[in-house]
Chains A and B, each alone.
Chain A
């Protein structure tokens, strides 16, 4: 158990809908990262927050948004869902927000868009 929690574990929804994925980092970690793992694209970085502020952005679609709250938990919002958004979404956390810290991963949320 990495100490990073994600809810829900599974999510099945229809095209056009909006969902929210939630992540709680390890105790003491200030940075939260979101990654997407799809069959055709592998693991890709979406976005990073550090202590409530957006720190870095990767290949995140405009239909997707995220935030980190004062208690440091984070939410990833996916809207106008398409079939291609079906994937495993991972949250990771690290103590600091720099380039040398180890990232620890949650169990993931498996999103299926029908």
Chain B
């Protein structure tokens, strides 16, 4: 089945820093989503981005479907950005999201 790999697994930054999180996937996908799981366990939709580039405030994402990767950019990090960031993909042949292992981000004040 499709493999989804996220890097780095852990990231510790000072408030105000910028970061880039990467998601590689091993097959063509119809759907790619980025989520933030906050310390309380809630999964928050960040981007639905099967291809192209999107921006939402300090966050932006780019998916290059032909090269099978997606990047999530976080600029001017705040402590509230801490948590785990997941990439999840969905193939044409089924309807389930396949999840990466996540990147755990800690933003220090």
Contact (Cβ within 8 A) B95 A98? yes
Query: Which residues on B are within 8 Å of A, measured CB to CB?
Result: 30-31, 33, 35, 41-45, 48, 50, 86, 88, 90-99, 101-102
Number of A-B contacts (CB under 8 A): 61
Tell me the complex Cα distance, A92–B42, Å. 12
3 closest Cβ contacts across the A-B interface? A45-B96, A102-B48, A43-B99
Report the interface size class on chain A: 20 to 34
Known pairs A42-B101, A43-B99, A56-B96; A101 contacts B41 (CB<8 A): no
Tell me the complex Cα distance, A107–B90, Å. 21
- With CB as the reference atom, state the residue of chain A lying closest to B100: A42
- With CB as the reference atom, state the residue of chain B lying closest to A2: B45
B38 to chain A, nearest CB (A): 10
> Which of A43, A97, A104 is in CB contact (< 8 Å) with B45?
A104
Tell me the complex Cα distance, A90–B86, Å. 14
The proximity string for A residues 79-110 relative to B, scoring 1 for CB distances below 8 Å and 0 otherwise, is: 00000000010101000011111111101101
- With CB as the reference atom, state the residue of chain B lying closest to A99: B30
Q: Which residues on the B side are within 8 Å of A92 (C-beta)?
A: 97
Known pairs A102-B31, A102-B33; A90 contacts B43 (CB<8 A): yes
Contact (Cβ within 8 A) A56 B41? no
> Which of A43, A56, A88 is in CB contact (< 8 Å) with B95?
A56
Contact (Cβ within 8 A) B41 A99? no
B85 to chain A, nearest CB (A): 13
Tell me the complex Cα distance, A35–B44, Å. 15
Tell me the complex Cα distance, A91–B85, Å. 18
A18 contacts the other chain (CB 8 A): no
Q: Which residues on the B side are within 8 Å of A33 (C-beta)?
A: 95-97
Q: Which residues on the B side are within 8 Å of A100 (C-beta)?
A: 30-31, 50, 90
Q: Which residues on the B side are within 8 Å of A45 (C-beta)?
A: 96-98
Tell me the complex Cα distance, A109–B30, Å. 28
12 contacts between A and B (CB under 8 A): A42-B102, A43-B86, A43-B88, A44-B99, A56-B94, A56-B95, A98-B95, A101-B31, A103-B33, A105-B43, A105-B45, A108-B42
